[in-house]
Amino acid sequence: MPRKEDRRLLRGEGIYFDDRGRGREGSYVHLVRSPYAHARIKSIDVSKAAALEGVYGTLTGGEVAALTDPYFQLQLPPSNEIKDYCMAVGVARYAGEPVAAVVARTRELARDAADLVEVEYEPLEANVDGRRALDPNAPLLHPDAGTNLVWEGSFDWGDVDGAFAAADRVLRIDELHFHRFSSTPIECCGAVVEYERATGQWHMYCNHQFPGMALVFMAPALRTSMDRLRFVSHDIGGGFGNKVIFHTYLLICCLLARKLDRPVHWTEWRTDNHMANTHGNERWFRDVEVAVQNDGTILAYRMKALDDCGAFPRYEPIGCVVWAQVTAGCYRIRNVHVDFTQVCTNKSPCGPNRGYSRLQHLWFVERMLDVVGHELGLDPVAIRKRNYVRPEEMPYETLNGCIYDSGDYPRALDIALELVDYDAWRARQTAEDGRLIGIGIGSTLDSGTNNFAQAQLVNAELPFSGNNEAATVKLDLMGEIVVTLGTAPQGQGHETTAAQVVADILGVTPDDVHVRPGHDSFFNNHVTFSGAYASQFAVTGLGAVKGAAERLASEISRLAAYLLQADPGEIVLEDGHARVAGDPERAVSLQWCAMKVNAAYADLPDELDDLTLNCRHVYRAQFEPLDVSRAYGNLTLTYSTQIHVCVVAIDPRLGEVEILDYAVVDDCGVRVNPQIVEGQVHGATAHAIGAALHEAFIYDADGLLLTPNFDEYHAIRALDMPDLKVESIECPSPFTPLGAKGLGEGGGGGLHAVAAAIQDAVSRASDGIVTDSFNPPERVWRLLHAPGERPVRLVEPTPL
């Protein structure tokens, strides 16, 4: 079903935050940002800026420290002593960190004024290598914490030592690296923020995608109540998790709006976005050991993970445990040991970028599987099928108590292989022009509706658990059906799918259902976990919508039963009417029902007193309490699957990679809107291929970002994309209201498949091993011509 959202967006009438406030004189914020990755701020002089005609005011870190409290930290002592404000206070810790703000009558004047702010810096040594962060002489980012360690913990499931002793072979991989990149939505972050002195109320017209969580961080920091912070969004130009941690900038705007007693308008520059908004987590997997049988069965693995979260943990350290949703990937591995360490460095803070933390881990699992298969001389298809969780085992409880709700990985893989004609490609491993052909498989899971109790695995004191979303469906006086959601969509088509669900239940068409676009705290329709993130709308959002629509249907049926002198069980809703089943003449219109309840209720009996026809429902995902001491339990409700197959050709002289063929098979259970599902699969694949071949946040040794905007950061473009062959299977989830499984993030299948394909091609010509998730031509060239010491070794197992 085509989307309701499209009409306004196609006509250029979308309402993005920067479109608001037309025709009135504005006041625009420009931020002064640190040019240094690490520097003491010795002084800030705003006097020349403030004196410029047209400048309304300024804000500095000193004021911020006086007016706000640091954001509360999720991690354990002493790392929870980190002081994180919305601006640098005394020290700048990453290049691009805001140091001062200027507000002026026009955008151009604000920039002029910012140039006049004089900041005296004393540069300090910066560390941009996560692997050095815990060295004794490494620059210390947060003296209050006394360490660059953000979090560390060990995870141990099954009988790891026993599995290694019983193995036929043990494979060692020295180090794998997952690189830093993000989804770079085309619309940058921003807000128009107003403050009402009379009531102490802030109104933030912005594009934050997770208002529920932002409130939890902002309200205590601003020393105000959550209700005083109103989030309003209408259309958002892409999120992908990159519009979650910028509540720090919203706080700057709140302070300015209050201080200057005027609305302020802040628009993030692309360069700011790349330098100082959200990076995806960078992660190393070190000292990897895999216990295998000769037939390719993987018994166990152990490894040390090192995660670099940038200068401040802002959604972190939750990423230190989120990967555990997919510990074993698509496979039946029952014994795992992971030592996980997260550190801070003088780089942009990390946030939950598309595929958050699972992406990194699934890439590692797929790489591990491929390397094992190659060392044992096993075909990548065979080793996967040997180790896949089998469809008859679903729902499948993993080694750490997660439950894979549904899926058929072998069938999805077979379809993907057929789509590219795998056998034909295998037959011709060298192209006519001398290029090396490689075929790679990426099996991945897109876990959705996460259990926020996983925060307890990071810090047992954190009180979070479960997941929720709210929706209201009402029947108005004139028979209008209006839906309000707690989510903040950025293109996922919530208006459309919500209308579909409501229409089905109330017996109307989707055109009869008006879904209010966007999020507004004043709808009073949000809960703590409200937002649009983490592949969950089909479960949480539509679960809330379904629940609200069912409550409304029940109220209508009870009223209609009274009016028609029938039993509520006999009432059916169809064509905008409530009818007695089998007796269509006995009917009452929805409009008449609304009239009765709202304006003509005096003759209704007492037992109908509770009818309001304005029904709110909070969907709550059901989870058992976790066994925190063992890190055991269900961390997420649904697992969508994507199996990717990629065929590449590599020019051995240049290391250039061209994708010749590409297939994806996805399974997200019941597909509420197949066209929207397929669009998400396309988009996730594009992000993953972009990251695999073109996109990276690269820092120099001084901590300056070398890819700060689209001139240098090569976001994947039309000419870079292969034609995608996409098919779906549907394995409904037994756990969700509609049988749908959330999707959207995608699980990074393209990253896994492209790495595997490059490896397959490289293996024709050298013994190089792909150890990095980012493979631009230079790296591929080195794998072919100068691979260096082999980071992979097969050893005999050590008996117990």
Partner 1 sequence: MAEAGRRVQVRVEVNGRAHEADVEARRLLVFLLRDDLGLTGTHIGCDTGSCGACTVILDGRAVKSCMLLAAQADGCSLRTVESLAAEDGSLSPLQQAFHDEHALQCGYCTPGMLMSATYLLERNASPTDDDIKHSVQGNICRCTGYQNIFRAIRSAAEGMDA
Kindly report each contact of residues 222-229 with a partner whose C-beta sits within 8 Å and lies 24 or more positions away, as own/partner: 222/68, 222/251, 222/254, 222/255, 223/67, 223/68, 223/69, 224/200, 227/521, 228/199, 228/200, 228/201, 228/202, 229/202, 229/204, 229/254, 229/521
Near partner 1 by CB under 8 A, which window of 17-25, 309-317, 387-395, 480-488?
17-25
**CB nearer to partner 1: pick between 306 and 488:** 488
Q: Mask: binding to partner 1, 174-213, rule CB under 8 A, as x and -?
A: ---------xxxxxx-------------------------
Strand partners, 369: none
* Pair type for strands 403-404 and 190-196: unpaired
DSSP secondary structure code for residue 737 in this structure: T
Among 390, 630, 653, 717, binds partner 1 (CB under 8 A): 717
Supply the minimum distance, in Å, between the C-beta of residue 674 and partner 1. 10
Residue 281 binds partner 1 (CB under 8 A): no
Choose one: 162-170, 336-344, 636-644, 710-718; the region binding partner 1 (CB under 8 A).
710-718
Please choose, out of 236-244, 360-368, 500-508, 632-640, the segment that lies near partner 1 by the rule CB under 8 A: 236-244
Q: How far apart are the first and last CA of the chain?
A: 60
Smallest separation (angstroms) from partner 1 to the CB of 230 = 22
Please give the residues from 491 up to 530 whose contact with partner 1 meets the rule CB under 8 A: 491-493
Binder of partner 1 out of 80, 224, 591, 709 (CB under 8 A): 709
Q: Which two tokens stand for residue 484?
A: 């309000």
Strand, coil or helix: what is 743? Answer: coil
Q: Which of 7, 42, 630, 653 touches partner 1 by CB under 8 A?
A: 7
Rounded distance between C-alpha atoms, residue 572 and residue 561, angstroms? 10
Identify the three-state secondary structure at position 266: strand
Beta bridge partners of residue 273, listed in sequence order: none
Query: Which residues inside 237-266 make contact with partner 1, applying CB under 8 A?
Result: 237-238, 240
Among the residue ranges 165-173, 378-386, 437-445, 676-684, the one whose residues contact partner 1 (CB under 8 A): 676-684
Quick one: which segment of 312-320, 457-465, 513-521, 712-720 binds partner 1 (CB under 8 A)? 712-720
Toward partner 1, which CB reaches closer, 187 or 550? Answer: 187
- Applying CB under 8 A, among 392, 603, 609, 711 the residue interacting with partner 1 is 711
Among 42, 51, 72, 108, binds partner 1 (CB under 8 A): 108
Which tokens belong to 378?
Answer: 């096993």
* Whole-Å CA distances, 270 to 275, 342, 515, 708, 741: 9, 28, 32, 8, 34
532 binds partner 1 (CB under 8 A): no
Angstrom distances, CA of residue 569 to CA of 500, 548, 590, 617: 24, 19, 17, 22
Nearest to partner 1 of 23, 569 (CB atom): 23
Stretch that binds partner 1, among 121-129, 234-242, 365-373, 473-481 (CB under 8 A): 234-242
- Structural tokens at position 317: 């350290």
* 88 touches partner 1 by CB under 8 A: no
CA count, 13 A, side-chain hemisphere, 610: 7
- Judged by CB under 8 A, which of 31, 645, 672, 676 binds partner 1? 676
Q: Considering only the stretches 16-24, 121-129, 154-162, 565-573, report the one whose residues sit in contact with partner 1 under the rule CB under 8 A.
A: 16-24
Is position 723 an interface residue for partner 1 (rule: CB under 8 A)? yes
Is 269 among the residues that bind partner 1 (CB under 8 A)?
A: yes
66 near partner 1 (CB under 8 A): no
Which of 604, 721, 729, 792 is in the footprint of partner 1 by CB under 8 A? 721
Looking at the Cβ atoms of 13 and 624, the one nearer to partner 1 is 13
Amino acid in the structure at residue 686: A
**Residue by residue, what is the 3-state secondary structure of 354-401?**
CCCCHHHHHHHHHHHHHHHHHHCCCCHHHHHHHHECCHHHCCEECCCC
Stretch that binds partner 1, among 213-221, 294-302, 714-722, 769-777 (CB under 8 A): 714-722
The dihedral region occupied by 80, where left means phi > 0, alpha psi between -120 and 50, and beta the remainder, is: alpha
Q: How far apart are CA 670 and CA 674, in angstroms?
A: 9
Nearest distance in Å: CB 254, partner 1:
23
Q: Is 679 an interacting residue with respect to partner 1 (CB under 8 A)? A: yes
CB 199 within 8 A of CB 332: no
Work out which of 59, 74, 88, 236 binds partner 1, going by CB under 8 A: 236
Smallest distance from partner 1 to CB 730, Å: 19
Q: Are 589 and 429 in contact (CB under 8 A)?
A: no
Question: How far, in Å, CA of 372 to CA of 300, rounded?
Answer: 12
Stretch that binds partner 1, among 3-11, 301-309, 546-554, 733-741 (CB under 8 A): 3-11
User: Could you tell me which stretch among 224-232, 487-495, 522-530, 586-594 binds partner 1 (CB under 8 A)?
Assistant: 487-495
| Nearest distance from C-beta of residue 798 to partner 1, angstroms | 47
Strands of the 298-308 sheet, one edge to the other: 149-157, 335-343, 298-308, 282-292, 169-178, 792-795
* One residue of 84, 152, 194, 235 binding partner 1 per CB under 8 A: 235
Joined together, the tokens standing for residue 740 give: 């749908």
Interaction residues for partner 1, span 111-170 (CB under 8 A): 112, 115-116
List of residues 6+ apart from 115 with CB closer than 8 A? none
Nearer to partner 1, 116 or 149 (CB): 116
Which residue lies nearer to partner 1 by CB, 636 or 680?
680
Q: Which of 621, 645, 646 is nearest to 635 (CA)?
A: 621
Q: Give the nearer residue to partner 1 in terms of CB position, either 188 or 762.
A: 188
Give CA separation, 407 vs 331, 332, 403, 450, in Å. Answer: 12, 13, 11, 18
Binding-site size, partner 1 (CB under 8 A): 63
> What's the rounded Cα separation, in Å, for the pair 537 and 493?
10
Which burial class, exposed, middle or buried, applies to 765 when counting CB atoms under 10 A from its CB (0-12, 13-18, 19+)? middle
Give the C-alpha separation, 127 to 94, whole Å: 10
Stretch that binds partner 1, among 103-111, 158-166, 616-624, 792-800 (CB under 8 A): 103-111
Q: How far is the CB of 531 from partner 1 (least distance, A)?
A: 15
Q: Are strands 792-795 and 169-178 parallel, antiparallel or unpaired?
A: antiparallel
CB 539 within 8 A of CB 736: yes
Interface of this chain with partner 1, residues 406 to 465, rule: CB under 8 A: none
Give the residue from 186, 54, 187 showing the smallest Cα distance to 113: 54
For partner 1, the binding residue among 66, 198, 599, 718 (CB under 8 A) is 718
Smaller CB separation from partner 1, 535 or 771: 535
Q: Output the smallest distance, CB 241 to partner 1, in A.
A: 12
CB of 209 to partner 1, least distance (A): 11
* 3-state DSSP assignment of residue 531: coil
Nearer to partner 1, 489 or 737 (CB): 489
In the complex with partner 1, the residue whose CB is nearer, 607 or 723, is: 723
DSSP three-state, residue 574:
strand
Tell me which amino acid residue 578 is.
A
Choose between 104 and 458: whose C-beta lies nearer to partner 1. Answer: 104
Least Å distance, CB 220 to partner 1, is 31
Residues that bind partner 1 in the complex, under the rule CB under 8 A: 2-3, 5-14, 16, 18-19, 22-23, 106-109, 112, 115-116, 183-188, 235-238, 240, 267, 269-271, 490-493, 675-676, 678-679, 682-687, 709-711, 715, 717-719, 721, 723-724
